[in-house]
Structure 1
Amino acid sequence: MRSSVETYDIRSGEIEVVWQTDRLVEAPNWSPDGSHLVINDDGRLYRLGFDGSQPIEIDTGFATACNNDHGISPDGRMIAISDKTEFGKSAIYLLPARGGAPRLITRNLPSYWHGWSPDGRTLTYCGIRDQAFDIYTISVDGGEERRLTHGEGRNDGPDWSADGQWIYFNSSRTGRMQIWRIRPDGSDVTRITDSPYGDWFPHPSPDGKQLLVLSYDGDVFDHPRDLDVRLRLMDMDGGNARVLFELFGGQGTINVPNWSPSGDRFAFVRYEPES
């Protein structure tokens, strides 16, 4: 086993294995209707059910170099992908959830998708412009992007709160990577975690009460794969933080929104070292 796609029940603490493979798969999204996960593997996206069957490839047209920054729209009709086939750098596209031709959204590159607004009308993402990693938003119709951060360290991993009032993200502006939040208009930047860890990829729960975070050891730079990490759960303001469990993972474990629609479980990927 190289990759183990699993779910965690936050009430019981029970972990269930959905599917295991000797391939490197990443970044499970949970579909809004609860029926399946979406994962990526070697530049392609796959639909993974909970019945033990093999994943089914999603037709992404010419986009065959998808990375692990992908996600299903709140109404379940569209998928946002990040793919570098067309330009050699990651661009964000939308396509039907059932599969189809990608439609370009971001013309400024590279751009890495991370979250949908609750109303499904706006995307948030990390864009690298002149070597600065910042948080941006853009309409699902494309057009001009809106820059929310301005080079205060590295800013990455944005995801929307369920009420649409905040975008949570990770930033190294104080040194070690920590979790912050910002209003969609760029105001009220607030620090959420003050931990000894390197905190990445915050994902607010659907009920708006809890925040899931991937935490590396404090001396780890960036978000590499194949390390001992932990998944932590906390209140939306960072209070009552606790380690749920430790695992071998990192990059690919929870890069994108991964909560079940009911908010009682989340999906993640656990890894084993390559032999």
Structure 2
Amino acid sequence: MQKPQKLKSRRDRGMIVVGAIVAIIAVTTVGGWVVAGIALNKAPDALGDSAPSWSGDSTKVAFSSDETGDLDIYVMNTDGSGRVNLTNREAKDMDPSWSPDGEWIAFLSRTQGKTDIHRVRPDGTGLTSLTVHPAQLYSRPIWSPDGTKIAFTSNRDANPPPQLGPTPVPFHDGAPEFPGAAPRPELYVMNADGSGQTRLTFNFFFDGNPTWSPDSQRIAFQSRADGDQEIFVVNVDGSGLTNLTDNDYADVFPAWSPDGRFIAFSSNRAKTEFGRELSEAARRVSVIRTAAPVDFDIYIMEPDGSGIHNWTRTTSLGDSGPSWSPDGSWIAFEAQPHLMFTQRGSANDIYLMRFEGADLTNITGAKARNQEGNEGPIVWSPDGNHIAFVTKRYGTPQIQTIKIFNPS
């Protein structure tokens, strides 16, 4: 592996970023980058729109919205036009995930106190349930790159000690999502039609945020199986479970590179001895609303866990949710540009950097009405020309896309 370049402070002035965020148009310059904004969609109330997912041909975005009072799955064009409700029913339909071939949209649906994974065609036909199980928890379904399988996490078959058993309560507005001490989610895979559902992990701890290898044969994920958050990898048949990271800090949000050579992730491991001491002090300060240090950076490692390098090493905090461009040249992620001592800290921004770690650029420069600002998941269009995410800079959460291209 070639030794990574040291992060440079210069900006790539050849890159132009055009943001599509309908009614408001603004043009500004951020660190030499040009950002123009047009509102894609104006959500009607507090919950707004969330969880964007691109169609295989990069012409549409699926997302979840509470426009009708319930959460439903919608699709729209990349300019915000053609907004269509696909599910329009009394259920909480959320977290859509478009299949690579564009034929299906898988999503979560919660009714009567339980959650299942459903799928629907982009025209609203073919609505079916892929899982039928009285589980309290499922995660967003993640399609394999070849489109034949779906990875997800669920507490459906968890067998915790008796004292950790869930306490069922009637489902109603205001009822807790997970009453009592619910079993922790485990990792599963199934075929695209819901058959062949297979449990891959067996422990009493959290397993989540799965990411597929490009050949669709392995899955990387984060787990608390050893007491803190670490990155693991497992074969699609459940064999070869391996811990790739092993330290006293949190390693989270793995993302496999398109060529399969690297896994990006976020970690709060101390960068220096001073950083370690600051982190330990942070654990003891009551005003900080977290049990772990807040200074996360983006790291890169090889799929066997070797060659770990800090790729950002910046003064921003909470670098998380790395997302590779389809050609593997860029990594987008979210971060907080200023020190945060409470939950009412600075707003999140979306950053972009080259794979080598150079040309780190804040492409949103958030000046939000509330503290959250911009947030992931950050998703690239399959053609690599856009990224989509959720912005709260105008108050109500909205889907924003940013078009990225190099005029040369």
TM-score by length of 2: 0.53
Alpha-carbon distance change, 182 to 107 in structure 1, aligned in 2, over 3 angstroms: same
After superposition, the Cα gap between the structure-2 partners of 1:76 and 1:210, relative to the gap in structure 1 and judged at 3 Å, is farther
Which residue of structure 1 aligns with residue 193 of structure 2?
141
Q: Distance in 2 between matches of 1:195 and 1:270?
A: 33
Say what the alpha-carbon RMSD is for the aligned residues: 3.8
Aligned match of 1:104: 129
Contact 1:60–1:100 under 8 Å retained in 2: no
Distance apart, 1:236 and its partner CA: 4.8
Partner of 1:125: 152
**Structure 2 CA distance for partners of 1:57 and 1:88, relative to 1, 3 Å:** farther
Preserved CA contact (<8 Å) 1:63 1:84: no
Change (3 A) 1:12 1:124: farther
Q: Is the 8 A contact 1:116 1:122 kept in 2?
A: yes
Shift of 1:245: 5.3
The residue correspondences of 1:256-275 to structure 2 (distance < 5 A) are 258-262=379-383, 266-271=387-392
Counterpart residue number, 2:311: 242
Partner of residue 225, structure 1: none
Q: After superposition, give the CA deviation of every residue in 1:125-183 in whole Å (9 maximum; x if it has no partner).
A: 01113413100111222235211000252101222121112112111122332322211
Q: Is the 8 A contact 1:26 1:253 kept in 2?
A: no
Counterpart of 2:53? 29
Structure with larger RCO (C-alpha < 8 A, sep 6+): 1
C-alpha distance in 2 between matches for 1:174 and 1:138: 26
Between the aligned partners of 1:14 and 1:193, the Cα distance in structure 2 is 37
Matches within 5 A, 1:159-198: 159-193=211-245, 198=250
Residues 54 and 172 (structure 1), Cα distance of their counterparts in 2 relative to 1, 3 Å cut = farther
What CA distance in whole angstroms lies between the structure 1 residues aligned with 2:65 and 2:297? 22
Residues 1:18 and 2:23 aligned together: no
* 2:98 aligned to which of 66, 72, 94: 72
For structure 2, list consecutive stretches of 5 or more residues without a partner in the other structure: 1-11, 22-38, 159-182, 270-278, 284-288, 313-332, 337-346, 349-371, 397-408
**Which is greater in Rg?**
2
**2:64 matched to which residue of 1?**
40
CA distance in 1, matches of 2:393, 2:227: 30
Deviates more, 1:240-249 or 1:96-105: 240-249
Whichever residue aligns with residue 254 of structure 1, its letter is: G
Identity %: 26
Question: Is 1:50 equivalent to 2:71 in the alignment?
Answer: no
- Cα pair 1:216 1:229 within 8 Å, conserved: yes
8 Å Cα contact 2:149/2:191 also seen in 1: yes
For 1:141, what is the secondary structure of its paired residue?
Answer: coil
Q: Which structure shows the bigger proportion of residues in strand conformation?
A: 1
Contact 1:114–1:158 (Cα < 8 Å) also in 2: no
Partner secondary structure for residue 211 of structure 2 = strand
How many residue pairs get aligned? The number is 256
Shift of 1:214: 5.6
The 10-residue stretch of structure 1 (24-33 or 164-173) with the greater mean CA deviation from structure 2: 24-33
Amino acid of the structure 1 residue aligned with 2:229: M
